[in-house]
Amino acid sequence: MSHGWQRVGALSDVPTLARERGVDPEALAADAGVALADLADREARVPFPAACRLLALGAERTGCAHFGLLVGAANGTESLGVVGQLMRQAPTWGRALLDLVENQHRYVRGGVPYLMVRDGTAWAGYAVYERQAPGAEHMEDGSIAIGFNLMRELCGAVPEQVLLARGAPADPAPYRRHFGVPVTFDASQTALVFPSTMLDLPVKGADPALRAALAERVSDYWAVETPRTSDQLVRLLRSRIIFGDVRIDDLAEALVMHPRILERALRREETSFRALLAQTRVDIAQRLLVGTRLSVTEIAAALAYSDTSAFTNAFRRLCGASPRAWRLSGRGISG
């Protein structure tokens, strides 16, 4: 899978936040592999791994472990450009979320927002699927902070709880202050959780006529090349695996393809549905082993394996070690 990119958007606040904390933003950007001038333009794009590295280095050099949260906390729809404008004119909060889910691929490749609804509960989440993205937890922190702001801005409501797929920091107070609702660390996903009935809440001040005009602009927004089929599938898998929603028929339907056509397209790219599913599961497992204190059994259950031994065997085939050995070797946190 090729490396993705990130629209600058909220990252434009990084230089100011760094400078306020005594860190030279030019050196910070250079060491992350980002041009400082690009951070001044919200419509510019930077490599996705570099964007994650920028936030991770910001946290390290400022001594502020919640640096990604700070970046996201200061932003809402205005940071999302024309897609954010479209969301402000949506009839409901649920439609606004779908505006983001359906259009974010136009200007970001490497992370995916998603909306899942099950048995009266909605999860509005964000997940990094870029494999080479150290510091991804900071990107997820910032993205879910923006998501929280979007909900409050558009419909005046807040979720019942916030899930974070990261270990609890030494000082969790900044997270609790920003969200103001129960925050669960060491979760299997990063998401806002709320009753699905809240998806029908109206967006304040929405203008249907303006929305129609914006919809045309969005269709031309960063109309870049279509990603490879395997990249599109991984993006879908990353948001669905936690919910056990990984039937090839359903995923092919989401891609507007027949399952056999999907498999043929994947073969042309020298991969398969089964291989991508296995690799994506392991990628998520590695993130959870590194960033949380979830047990191996809990991770196996979160990834919908039939049992812990099936997870261990699949992980060993791709990583050369069991999940527990991989974690204890120093690639993950111990415990």
**Measured distance CA(176)–CA(206) in Å, rounded:** 30
Q: Which of 87-96, 131-140, 272-281, 289-298 is the least confident region?
A: 131-140
pLDDT at 333 over 50: no
pLDDT at position 63, please?
95
pLDDT at position 334, please?
32
pLDDT at 217 over 90: no
Mean predicted lDDT score pLDDT of the chain = 93
Which tokens hold the place of 201?
Answer: 């809440």
Three-state DSSP class for 322? coil
Residue 225: band (very low, low, confident or very high) from pLDDT cuts 50, 70, 90? low
Q: CA distances (Å), 114 to each of 190, 271, 322, in order?
A: 10, 25, 30
Residue 45: band (very low, low, confident or very high) from pLDDT cuts 50, 70, 90? very high
Strands 191-195 and 121-128: antiparallel
Dihedral in degrees, nearest 10, Cα atoms 198, 202, 208, 212: -20
Mean pLDDT along residues 81-101: 96
**Measured distance CA(289)–CA(331) in Å, rounded:** 8
